[in-house]
Amino acid sequence: MNIDLSGKTALVTGSTQGIGFAIAKGLADAGAKVVVNGRSADRVDTAVAQIRKATGADVVGVPVDVASAEGVDELLSQVPRVDVLVNNLGIFEAVPAGDITDEQWRTYFEVNVLAAVRLIRTYLPGMVERGWGRAIQIASDSAIVTPAEMIHYGVSKTALLAVSRGFAKDAAGTGVTVNSVIAGPTHTEGVEDFVYQLVDKDLPWDEAQREFMRKHRPQSLLQRLIEPEEIANMVTYLASPLASATTGGALRVDGGYVDSILP
């Protein structure tokens, strides 16, 4: 498959590390001009330099907090046109169900849901006017399998699936597609430490992660953690002209974690 995003501008929120960084690199590899986003200017600059070195692509950085209306306004002033929007920004934290405060519920809705809504609302009209565009939200298996230890996170990701489906209907017949990607347990920064808290610290990493998955994520059919690049591959495909007939979907890159044929 020849995925060519030459001439397209792609914005990936929360893209200084982990899944977001892998997605930004994948889109750059496909020829897109990529906008890296994060709150820390230093981390944005580092990510931009790494992706440029790896791909030779046109990469720029915009260090703003897109979870605020002011941050989105600043982003729009620097990046007025986006052809591929990837809403990757998200936060999570384990909190007992009865201890989740009103403020925490509001924060999770603001960051994990409303930030995506604002950016879709900001860039979708231009995509529709041009007759081509992609809006992709990075959701989670927690959207379907609500985790008891972080209900607020799960609910926010469930809402993100509905946001994607709703805006896909809003963009019907325009040449613009809107989808979400359901990411499963992923090997990101900090996860190795978490894994070694639960399994034998003397195990090599490949064995350790498989032991972790067997004991603590047994419903995974992959039986290993997903690499960020594997999620980026799906996003890069969805961002391409080849995915023109896929819209309003929730596509799973979960290693079979969700025990369901459909989301």
Cβ neighbours of residue 2 closer than 8 Å, sequence gap 6 or more? none
Tokens 């610290």, residue located: 201
Helix (H, G, I), strand (E, B) or coil at 109: helix
- The contacts found for 40-49 with CB under 8 angstroms, 24 or more apart, are 40/16, 43/16, 43/17, 44/16, 46/16, 47/15, 47/16, 47/17, 47/21
Per annotation, catalytic residue among 153, 196, 237, 257: 153
Q: DSSP secondary structure string, 132-168?
A: -EEEEEEEEGGGTS--TT-HHHHHHHHHHHHHHHHHH
In the chain, beta strands by DSSP E: 9-12, 33-38, 59-63, 84-87, 133-140, 176-183, 250-253
Which pair of structure tokens corresponds to residue 9? 């501008």
The reply to whether 196 belongs to the active site is no
Active-site residue numbers?
153
